[in-house]
Chains A and B, each alone.
Chain A
């Protein structure tokens, strides 16, 4: 009882005594964990470098400005590759994500106890692992290049798209599906007439949203050798050509802003 009767006075507290003690204990444990973690980080940090950081940052800044503008002529092709990695990767991932989403949604899955868990496992595996790691893996398998980037983006995006899509499928209006079933339509016709029209807007929204994210991700895939503008970034960093690095970062920034603008426009047009 939050209201206590103490010597004839009514005392109101937000929590009961036991609750407030347990709250304090939880907070204490939280703070202790944080302090411990911070201790660990601090131990593996060379604090000398950290105190020196402002000077180094200033040094890098003076070296990186002004950007080497004429270098931009060499960035055309890498940008084109980056765009292709993102777009083709998104298209491939959508092709694979659609069937997986249908297998994972509990109202369309053919088998709730066998196929659905497998589909969900594919989704969570693909989502848990960053596209850079997929790219590393694919480069080890099929060699460096744009192709590895496309596949890495595709694999990473499957989980994301399939998850959002199967949530959309689970939210459809079941009576519309029932009405189509009642006409004597086959399983596939029910899919095409009852379900697909309902999830089409969600699908388009997801596709554009993921494309936008993929543009960002594909700009850095080159760091591990999977093509795109990241390759230039990585080689410029290796030779400490800071004016080139700053130009590349600017170009990436512009690309990201443009892709965000495009995706916002397209989503506005669809919905």
Chain B
């Protein structure tokens, strides 16, 4: 469903963030993107919806080639890609409801959105989503009154109300505590399953990634070093991605987590 062909990005400073990335994501697959800081994870995700303009290469979403689209057509395609951000990126001075409804901006005209007159079906859907993540009673709170975990839930609602086919998730747990991180990851994966969404989850916590996803991509210096199931992440593989380190502890932790997951 999503296809990247020889995607490259070189920043103006001369840093080559992506080197000829080839990737295919089938419908409904949840995929984790791991790698050290500066490996190009964020750039890759942002190149897909063109928040960062790729230098060369092609991105296909279904049959549509995103890389060549005019800005109007790009906006239409962006509606099919929901994005979830590292620092939540909620508009802090707007209410929770407005933040969720802002996911519908691609569907409603300017004046309607400006006067906050969204179609009733959008409002209903927003309440359903907020209810699903357990925040329906917070709808009229301002976003900056929420805790980190709650904000990320609102961010998830904003992405889902777009009715996307693909979720782009950029470090969803980086600013959350371990327990909340796990809850958020679980929520994202459950929602993907419910709705049959594909997702690319950019994450630095290897253990967390192994717990929840079906496929892991390891990125190093802007090139794909590993592509396989989470069980394939052996110490040798992690060493090629991250460099030399004692990986046994990490992998062991994964096993423990796996148990927890089963018992739940």
Q: B89–A178 contact, CB under 8 A?
A: yes
B10 → chain A closest CB, angstroms: 21
Residues of B within 8 A of A234 (CB): none
Which residues of chain B are within 8 angstroms of A66 by Cβ–Cβ distance? none
Is B79's beta carbon under 8 Å from chain A?
yes
- Give the docked Cα–Cα distance between A194 and B94 (Å): 9
Check A183 against B78 for contact (C-beta < 8 Å): yes
Is A254 an interface position by the 8 A CB rule?
Answer: no
Nearest-CB residue, chain B, relative to A190: B105
CA distance A111 to B258 in the complex (A): 54
Residues of B within 8 A of A193 (CB): 91, 94, 98, 102, 105, 113
Of B81, B89, B94, B110, which one neighbours A186 at CB under 8 angstroms? B110
Q: Which residues 193-224 in A have Cβ within 8 Å of B in the complex?
A: 193-194, 197-198, 200-201
Is B158 touching A183 in the complex (CB atoms < 8 A)?
yes
A183 touching B90, Cβ below 8 Å: no
Q: Is B106 an interface residue (CB 8 A)?
A: yes
A156 shortest CB reach to chain B, Å:
30
Min CB gap A19→B, angstroms: 37
- Segment 56-83 of B: residues with Cβ below 8 Å from A: 75-79, 81-83
Residues of chain A lying within 8 A (CB to CB) of residue B93: 197-198, 200-201
Does residue B103 face the partner (Cβ distance < 8 Å to A)? yes
Secondary structure of the A side of the interface? helix
Shortest A100–chain B CB gap in Å is 21
Question: From residue 147 to 189 of chain A, which have CB atoms closer than 8 A to chain B?
Answer: 173, 175-176, 178-186, 188-189
Evaluate contact between A192 and B114: CB separation under 8 angstroms. Answer: yes
- Are B91 and A185 neighbours in the complex by a CB distance under 8 Å? no
- Are A179 and B94 in contact, CB atoms less than 8 angstroms apart? no
B79 contacts across to A, CB distance below 8 A: 183-184
Query: Does A179 contact B113, Cβ atoms closer than 8 Å?
Result: no
Q: Report the minimum CB–CB distance from A9 to chain B (whole Å).
A: 51
| A180-B105, A197-B91, A197-B93 given; A175·B75 CB < 8 A | no
In the assembled complex, the CB of A38 is this many whole angstroms from the nearest CB of chain B, namely 53
Q: Given contacts A183-B78, A189-B105, A193-B105, are A178 and B87 in contact (CB under 8 A)? A: no
Q: Are A183 and B105 in contact (CB under 8 A)?
A: yes
List chain A residues, Cβ under 8 A from B81.
Answer: 182
State whether A175 touches B87 (Cβ < 8 A).
yes
Say how far A252's CB is from chain B's closest CB, in angstroms.
38
Number of residues of chain A lying within 8 A (CB) of chain B: 21
A188 to B104, CA, bound (A): 14
CB contact between A184 and one of B75, B114, B155 (< 8 Å): that residue: B75
**Does B102 contact A182, Cβ atoms closer than 8 Å?**
no
Closest-CB distance, B31 to chain A (whole angstroms):
19
Bound Cα distance from A123 to B203, whole angstroms: 45
The answer to whether A192 touches B89, judged by C-beta atoms less than 8 angstroms apart, is no
A201 CA to B75 CA, complexed, in Å: 29
B91 touches A194 (CB 8 A): yes
Contact in complex: B158, A179 (CB < 8 Å): yes
Would A192 and B91 be within 8 Å (CB), given that A181-B51, A183-B79, A184-B162 are in contact? no
Chain B residue nearest to A185 (CB atoms) is: B105
What's the nearest-Cβ distance from chain B to residue A269, in Å? 16
A182 and B83 contacting across the interface, CB-CB below 8 Å: yes
Contact B89 A183 (CB under 8 A): no
Interface pair B85/A184, CB less than 8 Å apart: no
Q: A183-B82, A197-B94 are in contact. List 6 more A-B contacts (CB 8 A).
A: A176-B92, A179-B83, A180-B102, A183-B105, A183-B162, A184-B79
Q: Which residues of B contact A (CB under 8 A)?
A: 49, 51, 75-79, 81-83, 85-87, 89-94, 98, 102-107, 110, 113-114, 155, 158, 162, 168
Q: Which 4 A-B pairs have the closest CB atoms?
A: A184-B106, A184-B78, A185-B105, A179-B89
